[in-house]
């Protein structure tokens, strides 16, 4: 087995026992990257050369080190809407094409304390708006299991990179499914933490009441390992929660006897692909054999989740994106008559179609006279969705559903139909609306394409969803498989 086929934990153990040097690890991933990255195109900025240099420095430090940090010399890719000092942070937008970060996001500071090595900044749908990376202003990332298909989105680059084996782990961001849906399409593990669990400081804001940063990894254990690094209250983010940070690996190997799993009937709908459904139900049966108690539950307000999400997210986006005005940073139109025209030309040239669509939607929903009818109403429905989950959690410990209604779709298939595209988030947006943690873990294949199973948990109960995910992972064994590339 080559080093590039290993996960973070395995690599970390090899470094800690000084059996392998960081430069050997980075070289192995660099070679793999050279081979397959031209086909996948996961990176907006490929920083592999710089990573090789850093690895050599780490080799020298390693010799004299006794206390070796968990991520010492290990490669991790970062979604290109997270600020990393001295690298470009483009959000895959023309607006920020040449913008260089002047500070580190809090999650990056924390990774730096563990002495990780960044391998690159990954492609996304512009400003994280989309489900396929087709909204990137630069190029479309390809699904490593089928190059004619999308990797999902918006963290498509981060998921494809891990799925293709060019990096063992990455960070993504999830506003309505952007970690879980691409993880599902690329056959890897994606965790959206509870809102407030991980600092958003340094994440370019899309919809501030929904956004969370989270790990994309090959294994559930690696997901827990990264959560141990990135979670926690941050003075720089007033919405980060002041709650104790557990050891996220604590429950991984505990059995699931007596654990109560809910299956929401509203998630097993007509639009759900038959093979995906069968695979999910097969896995649930196996969990039952291991001692879990399965029961049907109801989340009646699920039917309004997409509609309300597509009011709330664009409203917050329209406000957040007002800062891109050509004055302080980012793109500025080269010719204009007056200030007004400078603003409008800058924004017309800098933003792509989907971003403009959302700014218009959001501005409309927030405007006087419509605010009560749209934004306020949507916030009220959001509370009902939250209550649905809290009621369900009186009876069950976790909720299982498919991550997406079907496996990865073809490039171009949904791009001209925004409503179809929005519907691919149907099972993921509710977790953001309800602020709860949710993980997607591979549970099988349909015609060679990975199927993702979603586990949703109680607020701040990431350890239990990781525990269940660990069982699913062992049943499915997908993480040992790599796509032919
Ligand atoms: N696909 C959803 C959207 O387009 C979710 C995006 C996200 O989670 N960033 O809004």
In the sheet that holds 43-46, the strands lie side by side as 43-46, 117-122, 75-79, 169-174, 212-217, 189-192, 438-446, 449-457, 398-402, 260-264, 293-297
**What confidence tier does 127 reach under pLDDT thresholds 50, 70, 90?**
very high
User: Ligand 1 center to residue 310 CA distance, Å?
Assistant: 9
CB-ligand 1 contact for 128 (6 Å cutoff):
yes
Q: Residue 148's pLDDT is what?
A: 98
424 Cα nearest atom in ligand 1 = 1
CB-ligand 1 contact for 131 (6 Å cutoff):
yes
User: Ligand 1 center to residue 136 CA distance, Å?
Assistant: 13
User: Ligand 1 center to residue 24 CA distance, Å?
Assistant: 37
User: Ligand 1 center to residue 353 CA distance, Å?
Assistant: 15
Cα separation, 351 vs 478, in Å, equals 38
User: Ligand 1 center to residue 154 CA distance, Å?
Assistant: 6
Q: Is the pLDDT of residue 208 over 80?
A: yes
Average pLDDT of the segment spanning 338-344? 97
309 Cα nearest atom in ligand 1 = 10
Q: What would the pLDDT profile of 55-88 be if each residue is shown by its tens digit?
A: 999 999 998 899 999 999 999 999 999 999 999 9
Cβ(207)–Cβ(175) below 8 Å: yes
Q: Residue 422's pLDDT is what?
A: 86
Dihedral angle, C-alpha 159, 460, 457, 432, nearest 10 °? -60
Cα separation, 152 vs 21, in Å, equals 34
129 Cα nearest atom in ligand 1 = 4
CB-ligand 1 contact for 47 (6 Å cutoff):
no
Q: How many CB atoms lie within 10 A of CB 27?
A: 17
Which mutation among 126, 151, 177 tests ligand 1's pocket best, with the greatest number of atoms within 8 A of CB? 177
Query: What is the full DSSP assignment across 357-401?
Result: HHHHHHHHHHSTTTTIIIIIHHHHHHHHHHHHHHHHTTT-SEEEE
CB-ligand 1 contact for 205 (6 Å cutoff):
no
Question: What mean pLDDT value characterizes the chain?
Answer: 97
Q: Is the pLDDT of residue 479 over 80?
A: no
Q: What would the pLDDT profile of 235-273 be if each residue is shown by its tens digit?
A: 999 999 999 999 999 999 999 999 999 999 999 988 899
Q: At the fourth CATH level, which superfamily is domain 3-258+396-480?
A: Amidase signature (AS) domain (3.90.1300.10)
CB-ligand 1 contact for 425 (6 Å cutoff):
yes
Where in the sequence numbering do the catalytic residues fall? Answer: 79, 154, 178
Report domain extents, the chain: 3-258+396-480
CB-ligand 1 contact for 404 (6 Å cutoff):
no
Average pLDDT of the segment spanning 342-368? 97
């Amino acid at each position: 087995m080559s080093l590039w086929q290993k996960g973070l934990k395995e690599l970390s153990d090899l470094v800690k026992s000084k059996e392998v040097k960081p430069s050997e690890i980075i070289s192995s991933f660099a070679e793999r990257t050279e081979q397959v990255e031209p086909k996948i195109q996961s990176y907006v900025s490929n920083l592999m050369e710089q990573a090789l240099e850093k690895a050599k420095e780490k080799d020298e430090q390693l010799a004299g080190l006794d206390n070796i940090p968990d991520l010492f010399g290990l490669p991790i890719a970062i979604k290109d809407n997270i600020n990393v000092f001295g690298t470009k942070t483009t959000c895959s937008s023309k607006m920020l094409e040449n913008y260089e970060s002047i500070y580190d996001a809090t999650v990056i500071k924390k990774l730096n304390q563990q002495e990780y090595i960044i391998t690159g900044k990954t492609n996304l749908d512009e400003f994280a708006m989309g489900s396929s990376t087709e909204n990137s202003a630069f190029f479309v990332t390809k699904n490593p299991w089928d190059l004619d298909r999308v990797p999902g989105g918006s963290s498509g680059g981060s998921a494809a990179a891990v799925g293709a084996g060019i990096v063992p782990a990455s960070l993504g961001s999830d506003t309505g499914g952007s970690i879980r849906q691409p993880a599902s399409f690329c056959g890897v593990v994606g965790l959206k933490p509870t809102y407030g669990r991980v600092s958003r400081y340094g994440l370019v804001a899309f919809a501030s009441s929904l956004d969370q940063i989270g790990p994309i990894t090959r294994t559930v254990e690696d997901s827990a390992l990264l959560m141990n690094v990135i979670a926690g209250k941050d003075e720089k983010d007033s919405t980060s929660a002041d709650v104790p940070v557990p050891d996220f690996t604590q429950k991984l190997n505990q059995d699931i006897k007596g654990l109560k799993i809910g299956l929401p009937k509203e998630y097993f709908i007509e639009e759900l692909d038959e093979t995906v459904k069968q695979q999910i139900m097969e896995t649930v049966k196996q969990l039952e054999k291991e001692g879990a108690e399965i029961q049907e539950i109801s989340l009646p307000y699920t039917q309004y989740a997409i509609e309300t999400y597509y009011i709330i997210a664009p409203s917050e986006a329209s406000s957040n994106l007002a800062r891109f005005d050509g004055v302080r940073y980012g793109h500025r139109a080269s010719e204009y008559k007056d200030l007004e025209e400078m603003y409008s030309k800058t924004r017309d040239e800098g933003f792509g179609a989907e971003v403009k669509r959302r700014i218009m939607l959001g501005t409309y929903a927030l405007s006087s006279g419509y605010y009560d009818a749209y934004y306020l109403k949507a916030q009220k429905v959001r509370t009902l969705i939250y209550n649905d989950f809290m009621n369900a959690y009186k009876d069950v410990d976790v909720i299982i559903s498919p991550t997406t209604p079907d496996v990865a779709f073809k490039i171009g298939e949904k791009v001209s139909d925004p409503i179809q595209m929005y519907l691919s988030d149907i099972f993921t947006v509710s977790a953001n609306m309800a602020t709860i943690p949710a993980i997607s873990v591979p549970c099988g294949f349909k015609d060679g394409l990975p199927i993702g199973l979603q586990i949703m948990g109680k607020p701040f109960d990431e350890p239990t969803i990781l525990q269940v995910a660990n069982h699913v992972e062992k049943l499915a064994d997908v993480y040992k498989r790599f796509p032919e590339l």
